[in-house]
Structure 1
């Protein structure tokens, strides 16, 4: 059973989103097309995001026109994408959060960080570029768009081959099916055309939040040089290179990606302060199912002191419920 899907109103329609994990919020912007329900069926995809959710409150959504969000869309522009982020974060009451954007979502995340530095604690851009027009020559871009519009089944298979070269047949079949289910041919072409036409070059020097740019060294979809250039245009950005050819961050060695992303998020200051030894004890006893009075008796301290420790743990972990503390305490080391 996949995560619970909820909906929020935006100027362009209702956006479908999920929330998993606990801790400081991390808003994830998908690339070209997505489908929350079908992507949850991919074990590699879920393992990667489960890894993030061990220490983050991970928020994912389908952009307007895709997946489980409202499908009716006529305005395919960066402004609509930015308005969606603003509406969703306002709906969730997020004053400050980290942003993680993949591919086209990386451009949107970068533009949002440039415009809202006080709201963004850290920025991660994966597999993206400054100018979508650099992804292929004009004739190639036009041919790909024509193919999608003329024969979406064939177009989805061609794009899968670009994104997942030499992947096992079950994975390529799943990915192609997800693309076709995520959007109809006209919307898929319009969204890809938006990616091709998006240019955030002028916005990148204005980014003033800690930034990590990550990229596959041998990606066929977005060449590594495009990611290197993007990182060079953001002041103080770090560049992380992952081995492999498959574009999705979860498709090859997701553990290596998590090993780069999680320490960066921590060093960027979005993680809560460390728990004290006593707070660790309290969290561990909560995970064992003990009430506050029981914890007080076991530790030989007052119930009021335990109450204070529990509040400190909640604040440092960025959680509200005792069950969230228990999940954190029993997470894999």
Structure 2
């Protein structure tokens, strides 16, 4: 990065800090669109080939043209441009794209705090990188201030996008109240290395070590709960308290006990596979509806678009296969720390029977069922503030 701040009209783009502001107010723009904008502005003296942008955006992995189009549209809208007028970012067929707005580059000040609204605990965030035992690069973030809460990775995350994504933003506001949230992108997605060797618990341990944590409470959401259970069972000296929400001990294929359940699990997996391979909205909406049962079709589409930004189709398919075969039922009894299990009664993705199984398997556990159909609690879900209350009370006991 050049360390310069590029100014054009009402906008200022800090290429080093990846910050875009308008009239001194920092704008929330997803990282893919922001990186695309930075590259175009830095290369403003030439037409940038689409192939170059795709390679830059993918960091060595393939980026679909649908995702690229989303990023380009988002970048344009962020600076008051659009596909028709192209006053700032011009399409130059068949060669590529060029940033054409008059701009001035001045030395940047990396230490300057962004201007804007009031600073909250969640604004205190640092993204860092560490190496897992096999050398895989893992991205992790420290958000907020206070005693730590470590959150395992789950389907699918992107450290730089999650805080402004409607599906996750309220989680950070709630989880960082009076504490520091430590989270990371699983290998294969987000800002972590996208080359998948094998899935391992070493990533969680590497993040905890890098963050300087000896003993800490651990939060697992969805398939991240199985990771949390396995880590707590194998490293009881490190986990002080365990919180599991929307959790399961056995993946969909593993817990199928009859031919009809196995057929249903295969159909569900095949629909998800078809969606990831074809990017067909009907398949993707079905998959999204299992996570956000009470959302609108537009919100399902937004969820699908977000997932495409977090990982490659090949990695997405591998995640699906791996998650369907997760099984920690044989080691859950080895969890010795106090455990809170919170689950929606009508979870459309993971049946409540899975929460009951975990509560039976983990000795020192308590189960709380909330009135909701959402696998992931949304900001306007009545279960969300109730979940936070139980979480705060439980962690406060420790």
TM-score normalised over the length of structure 2: 0.63
Q: Does the Cα contact within 8 Å between 1:153 and 1:180 map onto a contact in 2?
A: no
The worse-fitting range, judged by mean Cα deviation, of 155-164 and 1-10 is 1-10
Q: Does the Cα contact within 8 Å between 1:101 and 1:107 map onto a contact in 2?
A: yes
- The answer to whether structure 1 residue 7 and structure 2 residue 129 are counterparts is yes
- The answer to whether structure 1 residue 59 and structure 2 residue 177 are counterparts is no
2:245 match: 126
2:160 match: 37
Equivalent pairs, count: 264
- The answer to whether structure 1 residue 257 and structure 2 residue 384 are counterparts is no
Matched residues in 2 for 1:222 and 1:245: separation? 10
Tell me how large the CA RMSD over aligned residues is: 1.9
- The answer to whether structure 1 residue 238 and structure 2 residue 366 are counterparts is yes
Q: Does the Cα contact within 8 Å between 1:101 and 1:124 map onto a contact in 2?
A: yes
Matched residues in 1 for 2:354 and 2:177: separation? 31
Q: Which runs of 5+ in 1 are unaligned?
A: 270-333
More helix by share: 1
Q: Does the Cα contact within 8 Å between 2:184 and 2:207 map onto a contact in 1?
A: no
2:224 match: 105
- Higher relative CO (Cα under 8 Å, sequence separation at least 6) belongs to 1
Alignment deviations for residues 122-174 of structure 1 (CA, whole Å, 9 cap, x no partner) = 00111111110337634324423531453244443321121112313443232
1:209 match: 337
Q: Does the Cα contact within 8 Å between 2:153 and 2:185 map onto a contact in 1?
A: yes
Q: How does 1:181-200 map to 2 (within 5 A)?
A: 181-200=309-328
1:16 match: 139
TM-score normalised over the length of structure 1: 0.74
Q: Does the Cα contact within 8 Å between 1:220 and 1:246 map onto a contact in 2?
A: yes
Q: Does the Cα contact within 8 Å between 1:148 and 1:188 map onto a contact in 2?
A: no
Q: Does the Cα contact within 8 Å between 1:32 and 1:192 map onto a contact in 2?
A: no
Q: How does 1:1-333 map to 2 (within 5 A)?
A: 3-10=125-132, 11-43=134-166, 45-75=168-198, 77=199, 80=200, 82-132=201-251, 133=253, 134=255, 137=262, 138-154=265-281, 155-251=283-379, 252-253=381-382, 254-267=384-397, 269=398
Matched residues in 1 for 2:359 and 2:306: separation? 30
CA distance 1:63–1:12, change in 2 (3 Å): farther
Cα offset, 1:34, TM superposition:
1.2
CA distance 1:153–1:58, change in 2 (3 Å): farther
